[in-house]
Amino acid sequence: MQLEDVYRYIDANQQRFVDDLIRLVKQPSVSARGEGINDCAKIVEEMMQNVGFSTLIIPEGQGNPVVYGEIKSKSSERTLLFYNHYDVQPPEPLEEWMYDPYSGEIRDGKIYGRGVSDNKGNIVSRLKAIQAFLETTGDAPVNLKLVAEGEEEIGSPHLAPVVQKHKKLFSADAAIWEFGGTDRKGRPMIYLGLKGVLSVELRVKAATRDVHSANAPLVPNPAWRLVWALNSMKNEKDEILIRGFHDNVEPPSAEEMEYVQKIPFEEEEEKQDLGLSEFLHNITGLEALKALLYRPTCTINGFLTGYTDKGSKTVLPKKAMAKLDFRLVPRQVTEDILKKLKEHLKNHGFDDIEVITHGSTEPVKTPIDDSFVQTVIETAERVYAKRPVVYPTSAGSGPMHLFRNWLGYPVVSVGCAHAESHGHAPNENLTVEGFVKGTKFIAAILHDFSVS
Amino acid sequence: MQLEDVYRYIDANQQRFVDDLIRLVKQPSVSARGEGINDCAKIVEEMMQNVGFSTLIIPEGQGNPVVYGEIKSKSSERTLLFYNHYDVQPPEPLEEWMYDPYSGEIRDGKIYGRGVSDNKGNIVSRLKAIQAFLETTGDAPVNLKLVAEGEEEIGSPHLAPVVQKHKKLFSADAAIWEFGGTDRKGRPMIYLGLKGVLSVELRVKAATRDVHSANAPLVPNPAWRLVWALNSMKNEKDEILIRGFHDNVEPPSAEEMEYVQKIPFEEEEEKQDLGLSEFLHNITGLEALKALLYRPTCTINGFLTGYTDKGSKTVLPKKAMAKLDFRLVPRQVTEDILKKLKEHLKNHGFDDIEVITHGSTEPVKTPIDDSFVQTVIETAERVYAKRPVVYPTSAGSGPMHLFRNWLGYPVVSVGCAHAESHGHAPNENLTVEGFVKGTKFIAAILHDFSVS
């Protein structure tokens, strides 16, 4: 049987695959500060070419290059696209790493390194699954497209125009997204959606310079203005007070809630990981999980004004700013929320507050009953010999809507990580076992999609 | 006539006096960063000794040295104390200075330099007035004490225990405070009080580390906590909502208001200086001046949380802090206000907010009908040949209460500055004329106090 041969090839070449992954991990690619980006893009392109991809580097305007590749199938008309990213989070704090974050050190069956789990392990697992197919059968089971962008960790600010401009390149019948893995019990996790994000900055100015706080009875204080404006936007119950904010919120369907109820929400581990004795407003269990997945939020990411060093300074600041993100759920639309935010500020007398947008991605979801979703669920169960955990949506965000909403095909997210992979944190790692299994999972998806 | 001789001496020695002032200005003494403090204290002590003071350096615990000196009068039992400070504000922004801030450059009759107006010109004017008396008459008209501390510009954090410990040294019948000058029309300004200040920092913590803002439905946000807490303390009308905050506020007396009405409040110049088209809540005229002098305030001096650099970061911060100052009026008491603030936070459910105190000085006032005040007013009118502008109190703050409230004598503030002296700002300056006149004014006060 064809797929068994592919699995055998993967097992036989495991060490070479791991070596390739380590090579990629050793190449820093921190988009937040433009570190090693072009070199990493080149390695990814070369790896794709080695597998058999025809490649193309798409310059993202002023952004980091998008690496794109295609392989035509001789036997299928269908096309599967893989979305990945080669950029990584900054490795800091360095002192908390057991090994150099760019060493690719292997210990006790775990490969350590910044980006090994998010997202370089997944890039290599996709490439190796495809390579295994090509080497074993001489053909790609379906037409394949792989896109690896270099700005996911900073919010993919330049990807939308690239997709807009190259709709044909990015067209497909279905897509595999960049993240996923197994939970603490080894069950594969499948994600079908993301929240949207609208990132804004509020700025207030008053006097033309910082003045002595003795002038407080006469001089407007931008810090107080910002406090009052923020307070008008969300109350102590965490209820967002912007008129119309919740208008288009679509609650989870009954079918979605069935799946949500089956998600093993490891509450105590979550609390421990977040350093909390209890969640916000003491929510627990299914209520907490439902909030995590389906509640739109408004978060202060940062606030800066005046003197913030040691001790005190009797200053009345000339300006203040706050950074916020709104996490949105289907069918909220970032542009609409931005408009409502501006209206809110105006209606509450905060005309003096300037709103700057730092980026946005739309909420997105692929229905559970989509046939591609069902294929991936069945494949997962067979490969892992465990019932997968299906997340009808997730708390995270990303540019998935460009593919799902603009190009119209189903998008499902799976990957090689495990419960202790520490993505975005020190000691990020991937198990060799999880990486190999994840590679086989992709191979099986390729096969099952080709025959479904 | 004795005083005429003293004036003549001052005129004859004007150049030497200015040279001494420039010497003092050339010595940096930035208390905010401990720059040149000890060297400056030594120069002040040497200048005092040269005049004839017996001096003493009082170490302020961990603080900067207090320079103290005495001269006994052969002819009078009465004692006049001068409070001054030899420390200065940081000179930054340097690029806005026309001359090096430590050059003591003289142009068009103005001496430029950091501290020349606040407070080194006044230190030298006091010393030179005393010198002129001693050299001309061979005696001090009254017993003299001069104290120059080195931490006024950072809130005099270590002066209280020094005064407490050395009450006898600091005892006197009256005191001249460190600041003052003439207004745009050349009228001498006399200040009889200060607001108090309570400087606090509010700190909130939640999760043990910064977390991804995707967790917002579950994780408390210290930035929001702080926004809500601050909002509970003061509303958009700038009304302070802390229960009991206004309890002890003593409104200005009818007599005070008579003097306040005579203060030439140069509203348009003030607005221009503060970079405003209108004052807070559009107050104008006497109402604005009364607010400036008599309204207690709560000011956000600084606020810091989370990510505040370029662009956006989807972070939910683990901590947030705000620095505030409360400016208080007689008979508010800093300790009482601190207690009420803590009660307020507790009663509004903000037990999680820690309150740290960074320093405090009490509000203070000497009554207008005090005989020393009347003497200074009459002396000013005679010296400047103009009716002085009497401020029954002022919007500023300082450790005056240690002298007025603890030691019980009248304290009056006068000095050599002019309307464009730019204290605390670039191009700080003093006119040679103002300096000489201010020196004569002090000589006249010495004389008039001795015979009053």
CB contact under 8 A, A307 and B301: yes
Using pLDDT thresholds of 50, 70 and 90, give the confidence band for residue A19.
very high
Contacts of A311 in chain B (CB under 8 A): 154, 358-359
Q: Report pLDDT for B35.
A: 95
Average pLDDT taken over every residue of chain A? 96
Q: How many CB atoms lie within 10 A of CB A282?
A: 8
Contacts of A300 in chain B (CB under 8 A): 221, 223-224, 227, 305-306, 317
Is residue A2's pLDDT more than 90?
no
Residue B118 DSSP class: I
A192-232 tens-digit pLDDT: 999 999 999 999 999 988 898 999 999 999 999 999 999 99
A75 Cα to chain B: minimum distance (Å) = 42
Tokens of A289: 């999980």
Q: Report pLDDT for A302.
A: 96
Contacts of A398 in chain B (CB under 8 A): none
Contacts of B229 in chain A (CB under 8 A): none
Smallest CA–CA distance from B196 into chain A, residue = A214
Contacts of B208 in chain A (CB under 8 A): 274-275
A238-274 tens-digit pLDDT: 999 999 999 999 999 999 999 999 999 989 988 988 8
Q: Report pLDDT for A62.
A: 80
Phi and psi for B194 in degrees, rounded to 5?
Answer: -140, 155
Q: How far apart are the C-alpha atoms of A160 and A163, rounded to whole Å? A: 5
CB contact under 8 A, A312 and B358: yes
Read out DSSP for B225-236?
A: HHHHHHHHHB-T
Contacts of A358 in chain B (CB under 8 A): 311-312
- Strand partners for A305: A320, B303
Lowest mean pLDDT among B162-166, B311-315, B339-343: B311-315
Using pLDDT thresholds of 50, 70 and 90, give the confidence band for residue B359.
confident
Contacts of B62 in chain A (CB under 8 A): none
Q: Report pLDDT for B60.
A: 65
Average pLDDT taken over every residue of chain B? 96
Contacts of A396 in chain B (CB under 8 A): 212, 214
Place of tokens 């125009």: A161
Is residue B266's pLDDT more than 90?
no
Q: What is the mean pLDDT of residues B399-428?
A: 95
Whether the Cβ atoms of residue A372 and residue A410 lie closer than 8 Å to each other: yes
Q: Which residues contact A224 (CB under 8 A, 6 or more apart)?
A: B230, B234, B238, B300
Q: Which member of A275, A298, A349 has the closest CB to residue B207? A: A275
CB contact under 8 A, A215 and B303: no
CB contact under 8 A, B302 and A315: yes
What is the percent of chain B with per-residue pLDDT over 70, rounded to a whole number? 100
Contacts of B311 in chain A (CB under 8 A): 154, 358-359
Helical spans, DSSP H, in A152-302: 159-165, 167-170, 222-233, 254-262, 267-274, 285-294
Q: How far apart are the C-alpha atoms of A335 and A362, rounded to whole Å? A: 9
Contacts of A303 in chain B (CB under 8 A): 223, 227, 303-306, 308, 320
In order of A7, A447, B165, the CA distances from A1 in angstroms are 10, 11, 95
Smallest CA–CA distance from A276 into chain B, residue = B207
A326 Cα to chain B: minimum distance (Å) = 9
Contacts of A275 in chain B (CB under 8 A): 207-209, 318
Using pLDDT thresholds of 50, 70 and 90, give the confidence band for residue B92.
confident
Q: Which member of A279, A305, A424 has the closest CB to residue B303? A: A305
Is residue B374's pLDDT more than 90?
yes
B157-201 tens-digit pLDDT: 899 999 999 999 999 999 999 999 999 899 999 999 999 999 999
Cα–Cα nearest to B322, from B345, B339, B291, B340: B345
Domains of chain A: 2-194+363-451 (3.40.630.10), 196-249+296-361 (3.30.70.360)
Tokens of B186: 């050349």
Q: What is the mean pLDDT of residues A80-94?
A: 94
CB contact under 8 A, B274 and A397: no
Buried b (16+ CB within 10 A) or exposed e, A121-146: bbbbbbbbbbbbbbebbeebbbbbbb
A400-436 tens-digit pLDDT: 999 999 999 999 999 999 999 998 889 999 999 999 9
CB contact under 8 A, B217 and A358: no
Give the pTM: 0.91
Most confident range, picked from A86-100, A318-332, B302-316: A318-332
CB contact under 8 A, B396 and A327: no
Q: Report pLDDT for B155.
A: 86
Q: Write the single-letter amino acid at B21.
A: L
CB contact under 8 A, B300 and A317: yes
CB contact under 8 A, A236 and B228: yes
Q: Which residues contact A72 (CB under 8 A, 6 or more apart)?
A: A140, A143
Q: Report pLDDT for A15.
A: 97
CB contact under 8 A, A213 and B320: no
N- to C-terminal Cα separation, chain A: 17
Exposure of B239 by Cβ count < 10 A (0-12 exposed, 13-18 middle, 19+ buried)? exposed
Tokens of A196: 């949207």
B34-64 tens-digit pLDDT: 999 999 999 999 999 999 999 999 976 788 9
Q: How far apart are the C-alpha atoms of A130 and A89, rounded to whole Å? A: 27
Tokens of B116: 């020349």
Whether the Cβ atoms of residue B180 and residue B190 lie closer than 8 Å to each other: yes
Smallest CA–CA distance from A360 into chain B, residue = B312
Is residue B1's pLDDT more than 80?
no
Q: What is the mean pLDDT of residues A364-387?
A: 98
Sign of CA dihedral A402, A405, A407, A412: positive
B371 Cα to chain A: minimum distance (Å) = 29
Q: Which member of B301, B317, B395 has the closest CB to residue A214? A: B395
Sign of CA dihedral B33, B36, B40, B42: positive
Helical spans, DSSP H, in A101-180: 121-137, 159-165, 167-170
Residue A120 DSSP class: I
CB contact under 8 A, B304 and A300: no
Q: How many CB atoms lie within 10 A of CB A167?
A: 11
| SS3 assignment, position B371 | helix
B66-84 tens-digit pLDDT: 999 999 999 999 999 999 9
Smallest CA–CA distance from A306 into chain B, residue = B302
Q: Report pLDDT for A1.
A: 56
CA-angle at B206, arms to B200 and B209, nearest 5°: 110
Q: What is the mean pLDDT of residues A306-334?
A: 94
Q: Report pLDDT for B433.
A: 98
Q: How many CB atoms lie within 10 A of CB B284?
A: 13
C-alpha A167, offset from chain centre: 22
Q: What is the mean pLDDT of residues A290-307?
A: 97
Contacts of B212 in chain A (CB under 8 A): 396, 424
Smallest CA–CA distance from B226 into chain A, residue = A227
Q: Which residues contact A263 (CB under 8 A, 6 or more apart)?
A: A289, A389, A390, A391
Q: How far apart are the C-alpha atoms of A67 and A44, rounded to whole Å? A: 7
Q: Report pLDDT for A32.
A: 86
Q: Report pLDDT for A364.
A: 98
Cα–Cα nearest to A3, from A413, A383, A380: A383
CB contact under 8 A, A315 and B301: yes
Mutate to test the interface with A, among B301, B326, B358 (most CBs of A within 10 A): B301
Helix (H) or strand (E) segment spanning residue A116 = none
Buried b (16+ CB within 10 A) or exposed e, B168-179: ebbebbbbbbbb
Whether the Cβ atoms of residue A146 and residue A48 lie closer than 8 Å to each other: yes
A236 Cα to chain B: minimum distance (Å) = 7
Q: What is the mean pLDDT of residues B399-416?
A: 97
Is residue B90's pLDDT more than 80?
yes
What is the percent of chain A with per-residue pLDDT over 70, rounded to a whole number? 100
Q: Which member of A219, A279, A359 has the closest CB to residue B280? A: A219
